[in-house]
Chain A
Amino acid sequence: NAGVTQTPKFQVLKTGQSMTLQCAQDMNHNSMYWYRQDPGMGLRLIYYSASEGTTDKGEVPNGYNVSRLNKREFSLRLESAAPSQTSVYFCASSDMAGYSNQPQHFGDGTRLSIL
């Protein structure tokens, strides 16, 4: 059972470089999400996609873009990485588009460091 798969698991970038974090889920979920986790702050929503073809901003979208490639895949792109984007990034998916009350299933995270 793969669930939610994120690649890569670790990455180090230099300031100004670009990078795409990949996420795929095999649970046939409609909704997918990208969070960042910083010490002492819990998880904060960057972007989400309620269904294939739609994306919306979350709490902290600045500096990021997303693409919902198909129902399975939801990618997060940093166009010009900044040290403030050093974080652990989690992708998640959930069932039933349009409902925020289903539990989200998370990937294992991507630890990203920007030098």
Chain B
Amino acid sequence: AQKVTQAQTEISVVEKEDVTLDCVYETRDTTYYLFWYKQPPSGELVFLIRRNSFDEQNEISGRYSWNFQKSTSSFNFTITASQVVDSAVYFCALSYGDNYGQNFVFGPGTRLSVLP
């Protein structure tokens, strides 16, 4: 079964703390893609990153970094020195196969609250 698990339902941190959002996925495919999306309180969904299954190199973008480990089927997201504007729901998603977009599975999301 293809599945994305985000075990952390809600996380609260104080501003400037580092925080890691966990994502564990399941897929039988050898070729797949992983994504992170941010949904701020205003409700829109913002694409953050895409990573394919053949590229395990970690990525850093400003205060954001992603750790992809195929051995543990995880694609974790770390925010360094968190800010109030990081407060949002974050979704991890898995895309697999080539069935014209049908195979795009979202995790249930993690609600991050950054307190001033």
Chain A interface residues (CB < 8 Å from chain B): 31, 33, 40-45, 48, 50, 54, 56, 58, 88, 90, 92, 94, 97-109
| Docked-complex contact A48 and B106, CB < 8 angstroms | no
Could you say which residues of chain B place their CB within 8 Å of the CB of A58?
102
Interface-centre pick from A31, A43, A54, A106 (highest chain B CB count, 10 A): A43
Q: Is B98's CB within 8 Å of the partner chain A?
A: yes
| Docked-complex contact B45 and A100, CB < 8 angstroms | no
| Docked-complex contact B101 and A40, CB < 8 angstroms | no
Chain B interface residues (CB < 8 Å from chain A): 4, 9, 32-33, 35, 37, 42-45, 47, 50, 52, 91, 95-104, 106-109
> Looking at chain A's contact residues, is the secondary structure mostly helix, strand, loop, or mixed?
loop
Report the bound CA distance from A20 to B30 in whole Å: 39
| Docked-complex contact A100 and B101, CB < 8 angstroms | yes
| Docked-complex contact B108 and A41, CB < 8 angstroms | yes
Could you say which residues of chain B place their CB within 8 Å of the CB of A31?
100-101
| Docked-complex contact B100 and A97, CB < 8 angstroms | yes
Residue of B nearest to A9 (CB): B43
